[in-house]
Structure 1
Amino acid sequence: MTGDLPTAAKAADILERVRKARPRVHCLMNTVVQKFTADGITVVGGIPSMTTSPEEIESFVAKADALTVNLGTLDAERRKVIRLAIEIASASGKPWIVDPVHVDYSPSRLAFARELIALSPTIVRGNRAEMSLVGDVPNAVRIETGPVDHLRDAIRSVRIVNGHAWMAKVTGTGCLSGGVIAAFMAVEKDALTAAASALAVTGVSAELAAKQSKGPGTFEAAFLDALSAISGDDIVNHARIEHEQG
């Protein structure tokens, strides 16, 4: 962790590094959005993998550069696989992000999310309702998503003001952004800068996509196109990364 603040120029640089390095991101993901998330990671330059097989998870996480854990669809076996994947990632120092999806719906899911957060993820990311229940996340970057995304670590606080209302009309845009954050973490050690940069890139891409779209259906395809084509100049000219005190 450093005291440096994320900027649009840093976001453009990190995206270029992702495109050159092609980091591997293993996703333990909501089954509803696996393809969309994989497509998002791929178009920014990463290489996604999605297996939840207990027999394979150790090998896949060992080969990955970052891990994203999404609690969207849970069962007993998936919980076991998540625990194993986190153990492997943590032992090898790989960054990982947890998205406590719908912990406001289920006490058992909230208990599981708190169990994972106690294992010291690099980032915890959720919407306002989810993060209000999760509370503080010591030693991790805390991200509360919404029309404005709020990010903070122990010494810095940042807002990302980019995005478009149609992101809330397409299932999985948040899950996709979690995958992009993981790809950015794979090449940038400063987790807050990586996350802010990833959210700025996805937010600017959404704004550019909306200009070419008629509604949520066409927006979904245009969003992937925009993520693939976004340039450093697009990011520098349109990213709105605001720094806050504390």
Structure 2
Amino acid sequence: MIDFPTAQKAGELLTRVRERRPRVHCLMNTVVQKFTADGITAVGGIPSMTSSPEEIEDFVLMVDALTINLGTLDEARRKVIRQAVAIANAKGKPWIIDPVHCDYSPSRLAFAREMLALGPAIVRGNQAEMSVIGDVAKALRIQTGPQDLLQDQNRAATIHNGHPWMAKVTGTGCLSGGVIAAFMAVETDPVLAAAAALTATGVSAEIAARHSRGPGTFEAAFLDALNGLSTDEIVSFARIERHEN
């Protein structure tokens, strides 16, 4: 039987994340490392961020999930990403990739496709990035935007939660990738995990916007809302639309 994401399931998985406190390793755009780490911590996970070749094996071995972001990509980061993915795959640890700006650079697109061939559980990008990526084999495909569209071979869903100020704070997408990884650590079904994580961040953004004057105050309020988010708020405010493939 195939399960579809629901508000109730999202609330259940939020509780599970907070109870289990999964460890998430982030090979992350250097611009947004702190914000991403703060978001993972706020939702209930434990982040680590090192990209040291000498340390990456030890860190990936001890975490529950891995998130990879291709922002601020250079040769040293390419090497450590390859190393981390090899370890995660060998140990059966789930990972998500965000092919940031792969539509800008042929070399970055080539590297993104190299990583996709290694079997991520989830590929997450905006419309431009996902249009050049094309098919993603067995991975869950997430196209982000004013609404987030999730699609695998059998299911599709749209998360309608969120707020326009998310697009005016650098790193909200990167943060959501880290939160998705935290949910992947407690739910083996990528569709259910990602839908729950995106619902949690989207509802938190809507709550934060009520107490904000603009993007600056929104950033702090968003972390506060994510930290204080309740399962009742998810159930009350989630807008998850199911589609038939």
On whether the aligned pair clears a TM of 0.5, the verdict is: yes
Q: What is residue 41 of structure 1 aligned with on the other side?
A: 40
* 1:108 equivalenced with 2:110 (yes/no): no
The residue type equivalent to 1:204 in the other structure is: V
* Residue segments in structure 2 that go unaligned for 5+ positions in a row: none
Q: Please state how far the C-alpha of 1:3 moved relative to its aligned partner.
A: 1.2
Q: What is residue 194 of structure 1 aligned with on the other side?
A: 193
Q: Please state how far the C-alpha of 1:147 moved relative to its aligned partner.
A: 0.2
Q: What is residue 29 of structure 1 aligned with on the other side?
A: 28
1:46, 1:245 → 2: CA distance? 32
Q: Please state how far the C-alpha of 1:184 moved relative to its aligned partner.
A: 0.1
* 1:11 equivalenced with 2:7 (yes/no): no
* 1:57 equivalenced with 2:51 (yes/no): no
2:19, 2:72 → 1: CA distance? 33
- Give the number of equivalent residue pairs: 245
Q: Please state how far the C-alpha of 1:92 moved relative to its aligned partner.
A: 0.6
The residue type equivalent to 1:93 in the other structure is: G
Q: Please state how far the C-alpha of 1:169 moved relative to its aligned partner.
A: 0.3
TM-score (normalizing by structure 2): 0.99
Q: Please state how far the C-alpha of 1:221 moved relative to its aligned partner.
A: 0.1
Q: What is residue 210 of structure 1 aligned with on the other side?
A: 209
* 1:149 equivalenced with 2:148 (yes/no): yes
Q: How does 1:76-155 map to 2 (within 5 A)?
A: 76-155=75-154
Q: Helix, strand or coil: the match of 1:38? A: helix
The residue type equivalent to 2:84 in the other structure is: A
CA RMSD of aligned residues (A): 0.5
Q: Please state how far the C-alpha of 1:166 moved relative to its aligned partner.
A: 0.1
The residue type equivalent to 1:140 in the other structure is: A
Percent identity among equivalent residues?
72
Q: Helix, strand or coil: the match of 1:187? A: coil
Q: Helix, strand or coil: the match of 1:27? A: strand
1:52, 1:4 → 2: CA distance? 36
Q: Please state how far the C-alpha of 1:135 moved relative to its aligned partner.
A: 0.6
* Residue segments in structure 1 that go unaligned for 5+ positions in a row: none
Q: Please state how far the C-alpha of 1:53 moved relative to its aligned partner.
A: 0.2
The residue type equivalent to 1:182 in the other structure is: A
2:72, 2:65 → 1: CA distance? 20
* 1:163 equivalenced with 2:132 (yes/no): no
Q: Give deviations 1:165-197, integer Å, cap 9, x for gaps.
A: 000000000000000000000000111100011
Q: Give deviations 1:187-228, integer Å, cap 9, x for gaps.
A: 001111000110000000000000000000000000000000
Q: Give deviations 1:13-41, integer Å, cap 9, x for gaps.
A: 00000001000000000000000000000
1:121, 1:159 → 2: CA distance? 21
Q: What is residue 242 of structure 2 aligned with on the other side?
A: 243
Q: Please state how far the C-alpha of 1:146 moved relative to its aligned partner.
A: 0.2
Q: Please state how far the C-alpha of 1:245 moved relative to its aligned partner.
A: 1.1
